[in-house]
Amino acid sequence: MAETWWLGSLRLSFFTCLLNLSFAISPHLTFQKENMEVEIISTKFIKPSSPTPNHLQNYKLGFFDQTTDETHLPLVLFYPPTNNINFSAHEEQLEQSLSRILTHVYPISGRFTEDNSISCKDQGVKFIKAKVNSKLNEFLEKAHKDVNLSLLCWPQDSWNVDASNLYAMPIVIIQITEFECGGLALSLSLVHIAMDGYSIFTVINEWSKVCRLEIPVEKIDFMSFNLADVFPTRDLSKLLLPRVPPLDRVESKLVAKRLYINEDSISRLRKEVGGDLCFKPSRVEMIMALLWRALIRASEKKHGYLRRSLMNIPINLRTRLISLPQVEKSFGNLGVDAPIKFIPGENKMDLHEFVTLIHDTVKETIITCDKTSPEDIVFAVSNIYNESFLAQDWGGSDEVDRYVSSSLCKFPIQEADFGWGKPCLMHFGSRHGQVCWLYDAECGNGICVQVDLKEDNMHLFECDNDIKDFFQF
């Protein structure tokens, strides 16, 4: 299996992992935090409702899968109890609808092989059922103050994933955790190399429709599986610079904070940005600029001087590649990270300067990647990475602070109603890097931000005047 060596760590061979590691969770295993205890009740594997045909049993990965980080990405959705819903009565419906979805999205039920592909022989998605000795409203009251409590409801297998065992694990792990009051946490963890945010959010949203509306398998058809045909795997050593360690070394514990900015504060923010720009900035651009400036200020306080900063913003390319309409609904990874560079002395600290820098770099990245041929797109993406994340003076420098800022706004994830309503709280990420996750507030008014930072950076960040002025914790 080709290495995504420039972003990930060195790993053991696939077959060494397979022989030496076991991931079965024993029933009734428990995990504790803050006087709350999660008990694993059962573990099973959900397989497609119809066998995957022979001609589809070898799903090939593509170039964009190769250049994706080697992580397991968890997502947790919390659902409040409703008077007419009893999860035990709907458990079978949930599992059967998942089985029907897997017949269409067959790669996520498979396993990685050593030749840049997924063996799709219906090995199954790991499905864990658990319960917690807490009522959801009590849990949410604490979780809104300390979002790290959401880790209790992650699929427990994903806690200890690293490059040595990633490829021996199921591609997707799902855990349903039931609270004492009947509320639920639905958590899903996926291997990022197999799919990106667009893919998994689409799968979850469609799964919820199939479950709620009892859609039959023959009417499920919402993604295509053609990315490896359009963008086949490449010899990365001929396209990308070698990874220069240390690459974004995390030296201290990562913690998360949940921030909220309402529409009134967004309006105030727009006034502060000013009207001198030649474009109308989006809410996401303004909030990202505010967050990034606060992170740069926090770094200045920590180190005693203003440092260079590199923020990458993931961009979904599906609707951006005008010459390739066939990839608009493709499963897998199809994105590029826009590298936003802050250079002290060259860039000013005014807020509108950050907004402009983000807007212009994202726009330039999209234009650079919108080529006529897939070959030209691959070279464009490679050049972007070689000049930023893989460059000795940027991605390979300890004198550069690196962050990710990802917008999940307008994704359909908040519409994921399985028949017991829409989620009332969400939690993202794998704590592998310093990330700002932006998403539409559950109340429909404003934007929430989950900020994952090194613990010492978080203390400085949350004391920033802009953060205290515009956001609620």
Convert the pLDDT of each residue in 81-119 to its tens digit: 876 566 666 788 999 999 999 999 999 999 999 888 999
pLDDT at 110 (0 to 100): 96
State the pLDDT at residue 159: 66
Find tokens 């919402």 and name the residue: 222
- Torsion angle (degrees, nearest 10) of CA 319, 320, 323, 324: -40
* pLDDT at residue 252, as a whole number: 65
- Where does the pLDDT of residue 378 fall: very low under 50, low under 70, confident under 90, or very high at 90 and above? very high
Q: What does the pLDDT average to over 220-225? A: 97
Write out pLDDT tens, residues 25-57.
334 455 555 678 999 999 999 999 999 999 999
How far lies 42's CA from each of 27, 28, 111, 127, 174, in Å? 5, 7, 22, 8, 12
Burial of 165 (0-12, 13-18, 19+ CB in 10 A): buried
pTM for the full model?
Answer: 0.89
β-sheet with 58-60: strand ranges across: 58-60, 117-119, 111-112
User: How is residue 351 written in tokens?
Assistant: 């807020």
pLDDT at 410: 87
Does pLDDT of 443 surpass 90?
no
Comparing 132-146, 158-172, 424-438, which segment has the lowest mean pLDDT?
158-172
Cβ neighbours around 403 below 10 Å, total: 25
DSSP string, 342-374: E-BTTB---HHHHHHHHHHHHHHHHHHH--SSH
387 has pLDDT over 80:
yes
Dihedral through CA 270, CA 271, CA 277, CA 279, nearest 10? 40
Q: Are 272 and 411 in contact (CB under 8 A)?
A: no
Residue 78 parent element (H or E): strand 72-79
The pLDDT score that the predictor gives to residue 86 is 65
Q: Judge whether residue 16 has pLDDT over 50.
A: no
pLDDT tier at 337, thresholds 50, 70, 90? very high
**Average pLDDT value for the chain:** 87
Say if residue 15's pLDDT is above 50: no
